[in-house]
Amino acid sequence: MSMVLRKVNRWKMGWLAVLFVLVVWSAVSLNYPSYVFPGPVDVFKEGVNQWEKGELTSHIVVSLKRLVIGFFLSAIMAFLIGILAGASRKFREFLTPLVTFFQATPPMAWAPLLIILLGLGDAPMIAVIIIASFFPILINVMQGMNHIPESHVQAARSLGAKGWRLGYFVYLPEITPAAISGIYVGFAISWRSLVAAEMIGGNSGIGYFIAFNGQIGNTSSVILGILLIGFMALLMDYLLLKPLQKRFAGWASRNENE
Amino acid sequence: MSALVQIDNVSFHYAKDTAVLKDIDFSIDKNSFVTLLGPSGCGKSTLLNLIAGFHPTYDGRIEFEGKQVKKPSKDQGFVFQDLALFPWLSVRKNVEFGLKMQKVPKEKRETKVKKMIEMVGLSDYDSFPISSLSGGMKQRVALARTLVTEPNLLLLDEPFSALDAQTRDVLQDELLQLHTKLSTTTLLVTHSIDEAIYLSDTVILLSKNGTIKDIVNIEIDRPRERTSSAYNFYQKKLYDFLKEERQSL
Ligand SMILES: Nc1ncnc2c1ncn2[C@@H]1O[C@H](COP(=O)(O)OP(=O)(O)OP(=O)(O)O)[C@@H](O)[C@H]1O
Ligand SMILES: [Mg+2]
């Protein structure tokens, strides 16, 4: 019962924050003509307008499709390579300088090259997402591998686990909590990088939508685009990441509460 | 009776270190209950790990069921000092793990697991996560997880050392009951003189320097009375041994 109450309370505070932003935004916007800095009502109207035209929806769908494909590919590769690197010291030593190098380069910096190499469509955008999210996930998977208690592996082996079964039934669950932290970080970086890449060299996607409307001076649509970016990140968090964490890494937070 | 485990002239050192174990010789008879007793750091866990096949390179010879030990065998069951239960699995799934790895068909697996969980008195908790159990319950799960695979040799590394005295007494009795019922040959590592005398047929005394000091057969009928004079006789004997070990530091 008290948990339900706490939940309601948390939601209330969340809505209060939204209300606060709306009030400040309205107040500031009153000092400007609406074509320079539109207020909430103008942006809402623009949203309805765009919704009816349908173009914006297709930009959103394009961006989300890229994100999901790129992220999925990246996570699978990072898991496989991270497990191998955790298991083999030589491979780990080989990877370390590469990881450091790629970690230091902003994923966005690759976009111009990738666009020249791969054209204007989905491919360079998916590549940016992979570059942005692969390394955070990889690093976390490797760390997870490092922290597997030796006795868990020994116990599993003495119970008859070996080969891929040892990997699938022991290593994989052991590293999942760490990997999911990596997925969180990777998700945030890749979503931002994707939008930025679409802004500088795309012909579709939510980033392109913002850049295009900026050029034609449609400030209402620019703000609408920014809001949608944040809103979609929230949505992904609630619909995808949180359930993923709960399902596969819930046991780890339970242990912390002990 | 024939020996299930035969250890001849075994010495062992960790990489670069000096010898942890020296010239170890003893055997474990089928169906017997043997205890390794010795001061902290004398190499009890190391010896247990050697028998379990976790350290494949050692001097001398260790045989289990007539074959030299080189890697872990599913015919041995190991309960670790830290239990090593899998925190992402429920009680039932933990107990089921070994059977699943050994590809026992699902139906057979389920009946065995159910029976085993009943045997350790955890039927009401079978879907609980490990983190929600008390220390004694975790201990029971660890024991069940190992025993359900019907190992021919049960290796226990200080299984009860983290428990309060009452729970420990209860679990010692339960372990004895399981040992009698399943007649699983058991090798137990302990610090506790009382535990060694209460449970075992034979106590192997390990010295600080990694050698066997003495092998003592406990000749008291079961169930053993902790206040009997025979019990006290062995208590004094083992106590003197540990005292001597402390003074030889
Ligand atoms: N993995 C290891 N690498 C190097 N040295 C080790 C390792 N494990 C144990 N040792 C050393 O070997 C010796 C014996 O350790 P072991 O754990 O077998 O003792 P123990 O009798 O089980 O002690 P305790 O009763 O405290 O558990 C100790 O000096 C310890 O420091
Ligand atoms: Mg030990």
Buried/exposed B108-120: b ≥16 CB within 10 Å, e otherwise: ebeebbbebbebb
Strand order in the sheet with B185-190: B76-79, B153-157, B185-190, B33-37, B202-206, B212-217
Q: Shortest CA distance to A195 belongs to which of A77, A59, A103, A102?
A: A59
pLDDT given at position B1: 52
Task: For B98-124, write each residue's pLDDT tens digit.
Answer: 999 999 999 999 999 999 999 899 999
Instruction: Determine the angle formed by the axes of helices A55-87 and A172-201, rounding to 10 degrees.
Output: 140
Residues B146 and B167 reside in one and the same domain: no
Question: C-alpha angle B180/B181/B187, rounded to 5°?
Answer: 50
Q: Is residue B46 part of a domain?
A: yes
Query: Mind telling me how many Å the CA of B73 is from chain A's nearest CA?
Result: 6
pLDDT given at position A5: 64
The lowest-confidence range among A156-170, A184-198, A243-257, B141-155 is A243-257
Residues B174 and B57 reside in one and the same domain: yes
B100 contacts on A by Cβ (under 8 Å):
169
Does A164 reach chain B within 8 Å, measured CB to CB?
no
Q: Which of A151, A165, A251 sits opposite B82 (nearest CB)?
A: A151
Q: Is the pLDDT score of B2 beyond 80?
A: no
Question: C-alpha angle B101/B102/B104, rounded to 5°?
Answer: 110
**The two structure tokens encoding residue B31:** 């169906």
Q: Shortest CA distance to B207 belongs to which of B46, B95, B43, B67?
A: B43
Mean pLDDT of chain A, nearest integer: 89
Task: For B197-212, write each residue's pLDDT tens digit.
Answer: 999 999 999 999 999 9
Q: Which of A152, A251, A254 sits opposite B84 (nearest CB)?
A: A152
Q: Is residue B113 part of a domain?
A: yes
Tell me how far the alpha carbon of residue B223 lies from the centroid of ligand 2, in angstroms.
Answer: 28
Task: For A182-233, write each residue's pLDDT tens digit.
Answer: 999 999 999 999 999 999 888 899 999 999 999 999 999 999 999 999 999 9
Residues B172 and B61 reside in one and the same domain: yes
Using pLDDT thresholds of 50, 70 and 90, give the confidence band for residue A121.
confident
Q: Do the Cβ atoms of B74 and A160 come within 8 Å?
A: yes
A169 contacts on B by Cβ (under 8 Å):
97, 100-101
Residues B63 and B145 reside in one and the same domain: no
A156 contacts on B by Cβ (under 8 Å):
86, 97, 101
What ligand 1 atom has the least distance to the C-alpha of B81?
Answer: 27
Residues B73, B74, B75, B77: what is their CA dihedral angle, to the nearest 10 degrees? 100
**Within 10 Å of residue B224's Cβ, how many Cβ atoms?**
16
Does B102 reach chain A within 8 Å, measured CB to CB?
yes
Domain count, chain B: 2
Using pLDDT thresholds of 50, 70 and 90, give the confidence band for residue A254.
low
Tell me how far the alpha carbon of residue A87 lies from the centroid of ligand 1, in angstroms.
Answer: 24
What's the average model confidence in pLDDT over A6-29?
85
Domain that holds residue B1: 1-75+160-249
Q: How many CB pairs under 8 A join A and B?
A: 69
Q: Is the pLDDT score of A120 beyond 90?
A: no
Q: Is residue B191 part of a domain?
A: yes
Residues B95 and B146 reside in one and the same domain: yes
* Residue where a domain stops, chosen among B101, B117, B150: B150
Please tell me the residue having the least CA distance from ligand 1 atom 22: B45
pLDDT given at position A258: 38
Q: Which of B76, B87, B100 sits opposite A158 (nearest CB)?
A: B76
A39-257 fold? MetI-like fold (1.10.3720)
What's the average model confidence in pLDDT over B54-65?
94
What ligand 1 atom has the least distance to the C-alpha of B210?
Answer: 14
What's the average model confidence in pLDDT over B90-97?
96
pTM metric for this prediction: 0.81
User: Which residues fall within 8 angstroms of residue B198, CB to CB, at 6 or more apart?
Assistant: B172, B224, B226
Q: Is the pLDDT score of A256 beyond 60?
A: no
Task: For A58-97, write each residue's pLDDT tens digit.
Answer: 999 999 999 999 999 999 999 999 988 887 889 999 999 9
pLDDT given at position A255: 59
Tell me how far the alpha carbon of residue A132 lies from the centroid of ligand 2, in angstroms.
Answer: 45
Tell me how far the alpha carbon of residue B55 lies from the centroid of ligand 1, in angstroms.
Answer: 13
Residues B68 and B102 reside in one and the same domain: no
Q: Is the pLDDT score of A1 beyond 60?
A: no
What's the average model confidence in pLDDT over B146-167?
92
- Beta strands B212-217 and B202-206 are antiparallel
Host H or E run for residue A230 = helix A219-236
On whether the CB atoms of residues B234 and B194 are closer than 8 A, the answer is no
Give the count of alpha carbons within 13 A of A125, CB side only: 28
For residue A201, CA distances in Å to A108, A113, A206, A227, A233 come to 11, 10, 12, 21, 22
What is the interface pTM, i.e. ipTM, of the complex?
0.86
Q: Is the pLDDT score of A153 beyond 70?
A: yes
